[in-house]
Amino acid sequence: MEIKEFKIKWGMVIDIDKCTGCGACMVGCQVENNIAPMTKKDPYNYVQALTTHRDDASNKLRTLTWMTVYELSNKKVFPDHEVAYLPRPCMQCGHPACVPVCPVVATDKNEEGGIVSQIYPRCIGCRYCMAACPYHARYFNWWDPLWPEGMDKGLSPNASVRPRGVVEKCSFCHSRYLDAKNKARAEGSDPMDLADGAYNTACAEICPTKAITFGDLNNPEHKVYELAKSKKSFRLLEKLGLDPQVYYMTEREWVRMQGDNYNGGDGAASNNHG
């Protein structure tokens, strides 16, 4: 299938060798995008109180984490044991598996910038997109979203909260993109030619080791342009042909080898940029 190309292609380059696995990106994402924490009790639902508890955040298969940090291991014993941390946002694929399957066009890739959208009020919650995504980048609202008392005061006015029963995912902090474009317009510059750093995601901004770099992959003036082309860079599951817009960097071969499957007798890892 043909890959949809855009003049602007927002993307990320994540240096795995710089990532300490601190999880700040996950927290930043959570706060920026009003992602509901999991609360065991629902004080507003008496039926729930009488019948069954909701999941708390210990059930990692039910939590909403648009950005998740995976721990990779080289599976060797001490003293050769090594770990690496791989932050995983939505890959905003050029050839997304999720978009063509949605029966109601609740997710699309049609906006300049190449970010895969998610339209919450249209999503019917069939979860077909979740079944389609091999990166597990999509999350379902299994329960009504609730914030513990007081925490709701800290909700961001820029991101809409989602109801129960719809799918959500990383949008590269889309409201920040809108803000950056508005600012450019106000300053009289071209909103379609933002300077490097004018639009940045919460995870990239908060990362203490600057492991995440964000920018326009098509713009030579943006850092990611060169970084993505680096010999150290690779993408997750390139062989599936989804053309992700998120790149990873590492000097360690064993980490790179975990970026794709190499057991089918088709050679070792390579810098294949699609």
Q: Which residues bind another protein (CB under 8 A)?
A: 45, 47-48, 51-52, 54-55, 59, 61-63, 70-73, 86, 95, 97, 100-106, 122-128, 130-136, 138-144, 163-167, 236-237, 239-242, 257-266
In the complex with another protein, the residue whose CB is nearer, 31 or 132, is: 132
Q: Find the shortest distance in angstroms from Cβ 224 to another protein.
A: 22
Q: Find the shortest distance in angstroms from Cβ 106 to another protein.
A: 8
Q: Find the shortest distance in angstroms from Cβ 141 to another protein.
A: 7
Query: What would the two tokens of residue 35 be?
Result: 């992602």
Q: Residue 69 in 3-state DSSP?
A: strand
In the complex with another protein, the residue whose CB is nearer, 62 or 232, is: 62
In the complex with another protein, the residue whose CB is nearer, 59 or 156, is: 59
Query: What would the two tokens of residue 62 be?
Result: 């039910």
Q: Find the shortest distance in angstroms from Cβ 210 to another protein.
A: 23
φ and ψ of 233, to 5 deg: -90, 155
φ and ψ of 157, to 5 deg: -75, -10
In the complex with another protein, the residue whose CB is nearer, 70 or 193, is: 70
DSSP for 144-180 reads -----TTGGGG--SSS----TT-EEE--SSHHHHHHH
Provide the Cα torsion 147, 134, 69, 59; round to 10°.
40
- Contact predicate 36/64, CB 8 Å: yes
Q: Find the shortest distance in angstroms from Cβ 149 to another protein.
A: 21
Q: Find the shortest distance in angstroms from Cβ 218 to another protein.
A: 24
> In Å, what is the CA distance from 58 to each residue of 26, 29, 38, 39, 209?
15, 18, 9, 10, 27
In the complex with another protein, the residue whose CB is nearer, 22 or 269, is: 269
φ and ψ of 184, to 5 deg: -60, -40
> In Å, what is the CA distance from 16 to each residue of 81, 87, 109, 259, 272?
16, 8, 27, 11, 18
In the complex with another protein, the residue whose CB is nearer, 124 or 192, is: 124
